[in-house]
Structure 1
Amino acid sequence: MKKTDQTVAELMLDQLSLFGVKRIYGVVGDTIIGLIDALAKQNKIQFIAVKHESTAAFMASAEAKLTGKLGVCTATMGPGAANLLNGLGDAYADKAPVLAITGQAPSDKIGTEFPQYVDQQELMKPFASYSANLASPDATVELLQKAAQTSLGQRAVTHLSIPKDLFTMSASSKPRPLPNIIEGTSIFTENSLEKATAIMKTAKRPMILAGAGATFAIKEVEKLAELWGAGILTSLGGKGLFNEPSPNVLQGIGEGGNPYAAELFKEADVVLLAGTTWWPEGYVPNDARIIQIDRHFGKFEKGIPVELGIAGKSEEVLPLLLESLQGFSKKEDWVLRCQEIKEKWAQQNNQEGSTAGYPVHPSRIIRALDQIVAADAVLALDTGDVTVWTNRNFQQKDQTVLFSGYWRTMGFGLPAAMAAKLVNPEKQVVAVVGDGGLQMTLADLLTATRYELNITVVVLNNGALQMERDKINVMGKKEVGVDLTNPGFVKVAEACGWKGFRAEPETQLEYLLKEAFQTNGPSLVDISTAQAFFPETEG
């Protein structure tokens, strides 16, 4: 190999850098040594070494969700690749653009009984929209281009497996940027949306259900709600999009949402879904006419009884609907009903947030966080009781909320918080986790230490898989395995180089959280949490 030649691994890094990739998350392994060597010799892309491959994939998924750009993770063949799957499942389910690069057996051993060999294209098939095995150095750029375009264009997971020997082979190709694709707006006019407008004008009890797909149309949703006389409900994906004081926002619906909104929603006669594919089972309006706006037409196939689907972006469609509805006479009695529900829930929410006692009620913890976190903070939620209590009692301002939406995996909170801090080092980042979820990625406390990530982890420590316990009890079944054997989280954190805090019976929560947030370095707050039955738990 000539000194001027690049290796395949070096070419890959140059190409990924052109795509805007800043970090690759992973665990060092035998078949990716060539890639690790190339990473060590450059400074355009940082390698973030984690303790478990699932953490690497979670972090890539969280970065992609936050930025909309390509998240990248890497692992060795066999068990390394398999360990990525949980995090890739999260990216797949929430449509985050993630590329997984895995090592593979040497070229002459593919398909043999070589240790750890598995057909990785079959392994990744459930999650990856595109998966290929690099067979020649000359195909490196072409495969990376296709993977990146697929991930970014379809909001999808892609995967490349690279035989161990190919990483160090000479590559003569040159990196090239992705083509500058100008994404034209969909062709909408007031006339083309005439049918939608006609349906909306029949409404006496309108409702808007908004999700993450309405991120760039917040003001339009609020203006439309005001003109149309509609209440605004949010899916979990819409958590944090609207400020709680916004007059038409009734908070979330479903498990963890505004408990009084469920019956109100059932009374709606026209529902507009903006940027959400989630439909709250058990809360469905009986005879409502439903209009759905979504960029991807295939999303209209999730069991929602849609009368009219509009394939487009909320920010393109809503201004035209708003214009078409000018002069609409909203029904003041319905507006008053919505306001009553908003105020009733606000009062109860405040009461729940003031619940006294020790162990501390979850609502009290969430209210303390609500009062203390920065207005532009990033909250990374784990899955479990912490998710539903946060959804129920956290009154959002302009915070960004990261969570595992459709995949709903435990163990997401800590990795997501670390990725968020790497992406936004200037912002306050708080992981809200249960004791069960934290233990799934506990070793990666050391990752935050290694990279000096100033994050705070708040642990709701109730000694149980409480959500599962509640569901078992609702179903009238016997329980086993729901009690947790927990370590002393403060001692573990301190052993990992963190600053640890523990809430005692006499502790003032807000003061303790402020102290943790002001720590120069990673901090953990362990709060003994009451095993409170979540009010809306279903079997």
Structure 2
Amino acid sequence: MGETKRTVAELMLDQLSLFGVKRIYGVVGDASFGLIDALAKQDKIKFIAVKHESTAAFMASAEAKLTGKLGVCTATMGPGATNLMNGLGDAHADKAPVLAITGQAPSNKIGTEFPQYIDQQELMKPFASYSANLTSPDATIELLHKAVQTSLGQRVVTHLSIPKDIFMMAAKGKPRSLPNIIEGSAHFTKESLEQATAIMKTAKRPMILAGAGAASASEELEKLADLWGAGILASLGGKGVFDESSPHVLQGIGEGGNPYASDLFKQADVVLLAGTTWWPEGYVPTDARIIHIDCHFDKFVKSIPVEIGITGKTEEVIPLLTDSLQGFSLSEDWIASCQEIKEKWAQQNEQEGNTEGYPYHPSRIIRALDRTVAADAVLALDTGDNTVWTNRNFKQKNQTVLVSGYWRTMGFGLPAAMAAKLIKPEKQVVAIVGDGGLQMVLADLLTATRYNLNITVVVLNNEALQMERDKLKVADKKEVGVDLTNPDFVKVAEACGWKGLRAESETELEALLEEALNTNAPTLVDIKTAQVFFPETN
């Protein structure tokens, strides 16, 4: 029985569907008309049309971060491909498996002065671990497999460029599943971890630093902390991994974390890193013995002074370490020190969250969100002052937090929230954004309208790039360009088909947020925010 004839684009969609891809984010452009035509003729994969290609890449990155599965974005050649780069930078920096598919000049025009032509393989080099240009229809399956296996296996960005004419050529090949990789903990034993546990047993002042990669091991890490007498600190990406009420959780580390945690952390003599590569200079010990658990040590470029690296999944390794520490002699003084800073910060945090005044203090806004959002909500943070205040004052429960961790790009919050709602429509999704970050992607309010995405966007409106203003002050430099020319966000939201709300008095904040969160439509809350100097700016 012969193979059904399909175009390259149709074959690619069949293959991506077999890989489990449900959505492709992008902007229509003539170099990718073959892909657009194929998308229009099927219903297994939904094309999410956005206003700007950076939004498409942000959404693909957010999907990959949220699910651990492949995120896919597409754009035309030239400016379309270059507009993807910011979102691909975010995926690259945070190890999110994303595939970018771009149109290219017709195959007989590659390398010429054809309009919009650029060598896309050179363009993608900083971010894509694998990038190839499809030159033969019959190589479609092979190249797509290589790209997807690389993305998923190494948690990296990959890229395929497809010449305009090749998209529409007949292709041979049959979609096939990825290899069924059987992973397990059989290669881990107590004995194989003896070197690590020997170091852990020397600890008098142990500490655990955990990130998003430890999400499936939170309970096991708390058991280990209890047995080992360790405090638990979380990276920003790890916010929401642990319930703040856990006796061992000391909140975050770094800018916006527990301000008392750094001095204590610097006293630690043994540190276990789990599911994170976060090691913020100035907040960490300089001579502690460090054990690091991660699946991808070959991808590390960050200078963490690790003594023992354990290649594997946190949830597989931690129970074995816990078993090996049975009978460990706890340091009651260290446990008391951890508890002291936990309680000290909890009291100060509560006071900050009740700061009075209008415009609202940022801590007051974050505390209002803490009181009103669902315990299992998805929070999408933009980059800016809103990020550090959320890290500082939000008392996480079981929320999932999406953030541009290492790329730290403005404009991430709204696209991430939209992707989260598409993936988890049953969840409450809240974007916490600054006025500057929102304006970078303002047109994509219409994308939420187009797809009827019931998300809430909370805008901390202080009419400034406040984080940059603070840093300029610390550097004793003059400022220009940090004041923002803001629109009336409520009117803009309403013009885009959203419900718009504005907090205008000190007493109505929680009620207004409750109204927004309970509105079955995209809703924007404009909150006039005081220009407050962030206390840890450096």
Shared fold per TM-score greater than 0.5: yes
The CA distance in 2 between the partners of 1:145 and 1:10, in whole Å, is: 15
8 Å Cα contact 2:240-2:401 kept in structure 1: yes
CA distance, structure 2, for counterparts of residue 519 and residue 499 of structure 1: 8
d(CA) in 2 for partners of 1:253 and 1:60? 28
Residue 383 of structure 2 corresponds to: 383
Query: What 5-or-longer segments of structure 1 have no aligned partner?
Result: none
1:171 is aligned to 2:171: yes
Rounded to whole Å, the distance in 1 between the matches of 2:49 and 2:3 is 29
Coordinate RMSD, CA, aligned: 1.3
Letter in 1 for 2:242: F
Partner of 1:347: 347
Q: What amino acid sits opposite 2:531 in the alignment?
A: Q
Residue 273 of structure 1 aligns to a residue in which SS? Answer: strand
Question: Which residue is equivalent to 2:124?
Answer: 124
Kept in 2: contact 1:208–1:274 (CA 8 A) = yes
- Stretch moving more, 499-508 or 337-346: 499-508
SS in 1 for 2:351: helix
Structure-2 change in CA distance of 1:286 and 1:140 (3 Å): closer
Partner residue of 2:180?
Answer: 180
Q: Which residue of 2 aligns with 1:145?
A: 145
Structure 1 residues 452, 198: CA separation in 2 closer, same or farther (over 3 Å shift)? same
Report which stretch shifted further, 73-82 or 306-315: 306-315
Residue 424 of structure 1: aligned partner:
424
Q: How much does 1:287 deviate?
A: 2.7
Aligned counterparts of 1:46 and 1:5: Cα–Cα separation in 2: 22
Amino acid at match of 1:44: K
Does 2:281 match 1:293?
no
Aligned to 1:310: 310
What corresponds to 1:469 in structure 2? Answer: 469
CA distance in 1, matches of 2:3, 2:91: 39
Is the Cα contact below 8 Å between 2:138 and 2:171 reproduced in 1? yes
Residue 356 (str. 1) matches residue 353 (str. 2): no
Could you tell me which residue of structure 1 aligns to residue 513 of structure 2? 513
Quote the residue 1:263 is aligned against. Answer: 263
**Cα distance in 2, alignment partners of residues 233 and 316 from structure 1:** 20
**Corresponding residue number in structure 2 for 1:156:** 156
How much has 1:505 moved relative to structure 2? 2.2
2:520 is the alignment partner of 1:523: no
CA contact (8 A) 2:107 2:164 kept: yes
* Dislocated runs of 4+, deviation >6 Å: none
Q: Which residue of 1 aligns with 2:371?
A: 371
**Structure 2: any 5+ residue segments left out of the alignment?**
none
SS in 2 for 1:112: coil
Q: 1:478 aligns to what SS in structure 2?
A: coil
> Offset of 1:297 from its aligned partner?
2.0
Partners in 2 of 1:376 and 1:515 — Cα distance? 18
SS at 1:502's partner residue? strand
Report the alpha carbon displacement of residue 299 of structure 1 after superposing the two structures with TM: 5.3
Q: More displaced, 436-445 or 139-148? A: 139-148
> Deviation of residue 233 (structure 1)?
0.6
Deviation at 1:207, TM superposition (A): 0.9
> Cα distance, 1:371 vs. partner?
0.6
Call closer, same or farther: CA 1:334–1:299 in 2, change over 3 Å.
farther
Written as runs of structure 1 = structure 2, the 5 A alignment for 1:46-65 is 46-65=46-65
Q: Write the distance in 1 (CA, Å) between the matches of 2:224 and 2:371.
A: 30
- Cα drift, residue 185 of structure 1: 3.1
Q: Taking structure 2 as the reference length, what is the TM-score of the superposition?
A: 0.98
**1:108 is paired with a residue of what secondary structure?**
coil
Counterpart for residue 26 of structure 2 = 26
Task: Determine the C-alpha separation between the residues in 2 that align with 1:310 and 1:22.
Answer: 34
- Matched AA of 2:521: G
CA distance in 2, matches of 1:110, 1:385: 45
Q: Does the aligned pair in 2 maintain the 1:186–1:316 contact within 8 Å?
A: no
Q: Is the 8 A contact 1:429 1:456 kept in 2?
A: yes
Residues 23-62 of structure 1 deviation map (CA, whole Å, 9 limit, x = unaligned): 0100000111111111111111100000000000000000
Query: Hey, what's the Cα distance between the residues in 2 that align with 1:284 and 1:496?
Result: 46
SS at match of 1:15: helix
2:3–2:173 Cα contact (<8 Å) kept: no
Q: Retained in 2: the 8 A contact 1:186–1:312?
A: no
Supply the distance in 1 between the matched residues of 2:353 and 2:200 (Cα, whole angstroms). 37
The 5 Å alignment of 1:78-157 reads: 78-157=78-157
Measure the CA separation in 1 of the matches of 2:29 and 2:361. 44
Report the Cα offset of residue 6 of structure 1. 1.2
